[in-house]
Structure 1
Amino acid sequence: MPNTLPIAVTPLTPQIERFVLHFGEMGSRWGVNRTVGQIYALLFISERALNADEISELLGFSRSNVSMGLKELQSWRLVKMAHQPGDRREYFGTPSDVWEIFRTLVEEKRKREIDPTLTMLRDALLEKPSDDQERYAQQRMSAMLELIELSTTWFDEVQRMSPETLESLMRLGSRVQKVLGFADKLRFSGKKNDTPDA
């Protein structure tokens, strides 16, 4: 007979509760509701995968709210479902690698927010402007498209890097800016030297 006896759930410590509540508050700023934010935070910080009943008990949410929250997190590919031997219930956890989580989140944000914007801009720029106002609007849209395409190309290249390389790149921080600033100075001084004497 399958084991469906509940595991004793230890209440959240004050520190973990603060973390979970903070993620709930931040959720609305990141495009998810408070419940989804808290469920994700709990799973992220939990040592083991949890089932929906445990999540419901720990957070004080209804079982239906937990189920909807888990479905949303699965659609973002931010939680993974697993089964345990002798137990019919589904257990949920987050990937252990924070870089994998970061990449998944950025990929999903891109699919949901950036790609539709790129499509709209490209479609708008295919249309012939009917007057000066539309001509100016298209110039602005073209500049926006160029920036977004440049950013997404850079992101695609970053996505192909190993977590170790990506971490090293991020740790360079202001040093990259200094190198680029120095390169600009060299380029500018080279242009001045190329200018023919009057």
Structure 2
Amino acid sequence: MALTPQNERFILHFGEMGSRWGVNRTVGQIYALLFLSPKPLNADDIAETLGFSRSNVSLGLKELQSWRLVKLIHQVGDRRDYFETPKDVWEIFRILMEEKRKREIDPTLSLLRDTLLEPPSGPDEAYAQQRMNEMLELIELSTGWFDEVQRLPPETLQNLMKLGSKVQKVLGFAGKLRGKA
């Protein structure tokens, strides 16, 4: 697959961003190539297009599969494995958020809950536990909200996002109505 300059810029950028998101550059570039490809690609196609070794591509594909960001596809009459990204960008967004939560938020919630079960041994530890409890409440509130948003159809979520700061005005108006009643 020959890359256009525009596609090459996108792929290189995703490699740079991947390293900021906790995956290596190769994984980011593999994902970007699969995202842009109109058809599923096999590991040899990916390696040739990006100039990576076959082993690096295999490792990158395994990591992307563990994140559920690429799907394995089989083609009739071909024994090779092919890969593609989900077509719906909202599905990709949801998968990313679920995986980040599973890998980053859930372990923090577990640590905070376990730590707060232990009685404080003094005033400094009581203060620290108070702060940890505030953090736990914030994260639980945020994840509860996220769970509700996850259940919204993509069209509703998109409309909600387009509202932006208008939501604050609606909530302020609703609060004023409640205050007058």
Match status 1:114 vs 2:105: yes
Shift of 1:67: 0.1
Name the Cα RMSD after superposition.
Answer: 1.5
- Which consecutive residues of structure 1, in runs of 5 or more, have no partner in the other structure? 1-9, 194-198
For the residues of structure 1 that align with 2:28 and 2:176, how far apart are their CA atoms? Answer: 46
What does the per-residue CA deviation read over 1:16-75, in whole Å, with 9 as the maximum and x for residues that have no partner?
A: 000000000000111110000000000001100000000000000000000000000000
Match status 1:148 vs 2:139: yes
- In structure 1, the residue matched to 2:33 is 42
Which of 2, 8, 20 is the matching residue for 1:17? Answer: 8
Which of 19, 40, 51 is the matching residue for 2:42? Answer: 51
Higher relative contact order (CA 8 A, sep 6+): 1
For the residues of structure 1 that align with 2:18 and 2:172, how far apart are their CA atoms? Answer: 37
Which of 163, 169, 173 is the matching residue for 2:160? Answer: 169
2:73 partner SS: strand
For the residues of structure 2 that align with 1:75 and 1:133, how far apart are their CA atoms? Answer: 41
- Which consecutive residues of structure 2, in runs of 5 or more, have no partner in the other structure? none
For the residues of structure 2 that align with 1:152 and 1:14, how far apart are their CA atoms? Answer: 40
- In structure 2, the residue matched to 1:3 is none
Which of 153, 170, 173 is the matching residue for 1:179? Answer: 170
For the residues of structure 1 that align with 2:111 and 2:157, how far apart are their CA atoms? Answer: 31
TM-score, normalised with respect to structure 1? 0.88
Match status 1:134 vs 2:125: yes
For the residues of structure 2 that align with 1:81 and 1:168, how far apart are their CA atoms? Answer: 32
- In structure 2, the residue matched to 1:99 is 90
Count of residues in correspondence between the two structures: 181
Shift of 1:185: 5.1
Q: Percent identity?
A: 78
- In structure 2, the residue matched to 1:61 is 52
Shift of 1:184: 4.7
Shift of 1:120: 0.3
Match status 1:70 vs 2:61: yes
- In structure 2, the residue matched to 1:86 is 77
1:95 partner SS: coil
For the residues of structure 2 that align with 1:59 and 1:73, how far apart are their CA atoms? Answer: 16
**Bigger CA radius of gyration:** 1
Shift of 1:174: 1.3
TM-score, normalised with respect to structure 2? 0.96
